[in-house]
Every structure is written in structure tokens, then in C-alpha cells.
Amino acid sequence: MLINLGYRHSSLPGGIPLAQFLISAVVFGWDGQALKVLLIQRNEPPFEGQWALPGGFVHMDEELEAAARRELEEETGLSDMYLEQLYTFGGVARDPRGRVVTVAWYALIDLHRYAQPVGASDARDAAWFAVTSLPPLAFDHENILNTAFKRLQAKIEYQPVGFELLPKKFSFTQLQQLYETILGEEFDRRNFRKKMLSMGILTELQETVSGVPHRGARLYSFDESRYRELERTGFQFKI
């Protein structure tokens, strides 16, 4: 296997250089109004000072998912989140440091559960940006981010991954706004509510939205154990 996991200057016999393995993580968060992505400001060349996706080189003795979680925690302080492998990016000229292959991951979090990320390690800063208003990105990270967003748009229609972006307790308005924002379309309120409730995976709570000048809407929670039980019987989540 002609790859080198983390050693930047190794080569095969005869001086043939090995490819390097990196991980990059696209972390999506929802603040109740906009879908956002976490970026870090690079503190080292190449592209020093530019914004990029969190990530870094994989250690020789490290599993890929472990590397993704380690880099996220080292560069942003974030941990314990939904994480899924996205795609492998291996264009020959994608990194000025040499032949680099990146295994990309995407993560989904509820922004309200986490403190403001802080840049650390080789990240000068870390911040959330709306996916509709991004700065220029280093390397080919715009392509990686777009690929992750398309994956999210597709997956949110057939698996309940959207609930990873919501608070544990949410209103139907919040749920519908999330789906409309990600999919870029509007849903009829009554039809959306009826479809969601008909799946039997939401629990109605004896609580309402607080801190509003009018009567607060009823809150719900996602019943993951019920969903897994239904899934085993052939149930399919579909929006």
C-alpha cells in the first residue's frame, strides 16, 4: 500500500515519494435561523491567514475517524458529535506541499450545546460562517464543503440526521425551518406536520416554547430508540 499516514518526507526505495494522508472535517451547525459551517484560520503556510476546514495529517498508528475527532478537538475544542465519512479527494495538484490525499468527514451539531469554538494548535482562530456567506477558502476546501452540503441535502430526506442539528426539545416551526433552509424549498405547514407525526418517531412533550410574548408552541423530541425499532421492521424515513 503506497501511502504514508503522516510522515511528510518518507519515500519508497529509489527515492519515489509517498502520498500523504490528511483528514478535513465539514462541521455544520444550526443556530435556529441559518445553517452554518465551522472554519479555522490557518496559522501556518501554505495559505497562512486564510480560512479553511479543520483538519490535519493522520498519524501512522491512528484510525481515520480518530484522526478526524482529534483534529477537531485540537483545533476548535469541539468533541462528541455526529460524524460520518464523506469522500476522498485526491487531485494531483490540490496541495502545494506535494502529493496529498484527503479523507473528508462531515459533522452535525446543535450550536447551542457547545461553547464558542476557539482556535488552537495550528489554527489561529475558529469561527462559524453561514453557508450562504463564506470567505475565500484555502486549498480545494470550497469543493469539499459543497460536496458535504449536497450530501446533507440528500441524506436529510431519507434519514433523520436533521435532528442532530436541533436542540433536544424543539417546536414544529424550528423543525420545518431547518428542513426548508437546507433543502431550499417551502413546505405546506399542515402537510409537513402531518407527515412528521405520521412516522411515529416524535414525542410530544408537556412543555412549550418559553420567553415569547404569545402562547408558546408545543415542544417535541426525537425518539431515536423508536426509530431504530421501526427501522428493523423495514420502516423508511422519507420527507
d(C-alpha 149, C-alpha 151), whole Å: 5
Place of cell 408558546: 216
Contact 16, 22 (CB under 8 A): no
Q: How many CB atoms lie within 10 A of CB 146?
A: 12
d(C-alpha 103, C-alpha 90), whole Å: 9
| Tens digits of residue pLDDT in 51-86 | 999 999 999 899 999 999 999 998 888 889 999 999
What local confidence, expressed as pLDDT, does residue 19 receive? 77
| pLDDT at position 192 over 50 | yes
- In a 10 Å sphere around its CB, with 0-12 CB exposed, 13-18 middle and 19+ buried, how is residue 228 labelled? exposed
d(C-alpha 149, C-alpha 181), whole Å: 12
d(C-alpha 205, C-alpha 208), whole Å: 8
Q: Mean pLDDT lowest for which of 24-38, 62-76, 101-115, 205-219?
A: 205-219
| pLDDT at position 221 over 80 | yes
Torsion over CA of 187, 189, 195 and 201, rounded to 10 degrees?
110
| pLDDT at position 11 over 70 | no
What local confidence, expressed as pLDDT, does residue 4 receive? 35
